[in-house]
Amino acid sequence: MKIVMIPGDGIGPETMSVCTNVLETISEKLHLDLELIPEIAGHDSLKKNGATVTEELLAKVKVSDGLILGPMATYDFKDETKGEINPSKFFRKKLDLYANIRPARTYPKVPTRMNPFNLVVVRENTEGFYADRNVESGNSEILVTPGVGISLRRITRECCLRIAKSAFELAMTRKKHVTLVHKHNVLKITDGIFLDCCAEVAKLYPEIRVDDFIVDAMMAHVVRNPENFDTIVTTNMFGDILSDLTAELSGSLGLGGSLNAGDRYAMGQAAHGSAPDIAGQDLANPFSMITSASMLLNWLGQKHQLPQYLQAAKLIDQVTEQAIEAQEVTKDIGGQFSTSETGKRFVQRLRAM
């Protein structure tokens, strides 16, 4: 299997270096026959190619089996006419990666104020309030007159049905509990469509318990009792905000792995940004990237029915648990180790499994 690896900006090269070592090790150990293809995007590509992402890169990704995208300095990329395209948006839209799966869980040794919890946010990735991706061309955020702006939120049955299906399928492998998050009291039409579609899909999964919360109340519930939730499904912007919260509640954004999945392609991507405040200092937590890689292997294993890929994902997750238990981790989650040393120890553990 060919996997394109894009380190990205900020802490990306540091965490990607660890992730590459982990994938090479697991490939050798379980005979996965992975071919890791290094590519560039973000600032590196802007300097070299005049654009943060290119059609040539997209073509290479399309003939590969998966992509791992490092964090991007999205905030720096403001003007598409100057090649400053948001790479996350680019791949999500061009590859139709409609489901953003963002797990968050506590670990006994990671300091957190929460009760132990293990949940996953399933976030719609291709429409909603995301003005740069919910129209075919152009942008749905409009400056009407100076000082007056409008931003449009697109919600469609098609996208709601497919994200609901992803969530219910995932819930079947977990605790069979789905929570719908919305703002139906205000966004009556659009969140009405979302809730109707979820109800339609729910009928196909009678053994799944379903509840729902208004997004603002959900923030309080998830902070108070995150252990009450298992699979949470919601629209794009609500899911973006909620999943950063749940990752941070688990101990650190540096633990937040994620997968962007469509029917044909998938992309592993840490849930956080490029963390410029700690970039280049060997401080970044590599587990978000490692977990994203494990999620991609799991997706490939399911899609192509390859048990050794499923086994690889399981092993990586087990080593993550072991490493955290042994406190062989970075400072953000209570450890003493650098990014590179955390990675070195992780690989040693993986080899020894």
- Closer to ligand ATP at the Cβ: 212 or 328? 328
Q: Which residues contact 159 (CB under 8 A, 6 or more apart)?
A: 98, 124, 126, 127
Q: Is 213 helix (H, G, I), strand (E, B) or coil?
A: strand
71 versus 239: smaller Cβ distance to ligand ATP: 71
Helices 307-325 and 12-30 cross at an angle (nearest 10°) of: 120
Q: How far is residue 269's CA from residue 296's CA, in Å, rounded to a whole number?
A: 9
Would you tell me which residues interact with ligand ATP (CB under 6 A)? Answer: 10-11, 71, 73-75, 252-254, 272-278, 284-285, 288, 332
Q: Name the closest residue to ligand ATP (Cβ).
A: 273
Q: Report how far Cα 339 is from the mean position of its chain's Cα atoms.
A: 20
- Minimum distance, C-beta of residue 9 to ligand ATP, in the bound complex (Å): 7
- Minimum separation from the CB atom of position 243 to ligand ATP (A): 11
d(CA 337, CA 317): 19
Shortest spacing between CB 23 and ligand ATP, in angstroms? 18
Q: Closest separation between CB of residue 256 and ligand ATP, Å? A: 8
Q: Which is nearer to ligand ATP, 36 or 253 (CB)?
A: 253
Residue number, 95 or 270, with CB nearest to ligand ATP: 270
In whole angstroms, what is the distance from residue 90 CA to residue 97 CA?
10
Query: Which CB sits closer to ligand ATP, 74 or 139?
Result: 74
Residues with Cβ within 8 Å of 348's Cβ and at least 6 positions away in sequence, in order, are none
Q: How far is the CB of 276 from ligand ATP (least distance, A)?
A: 6
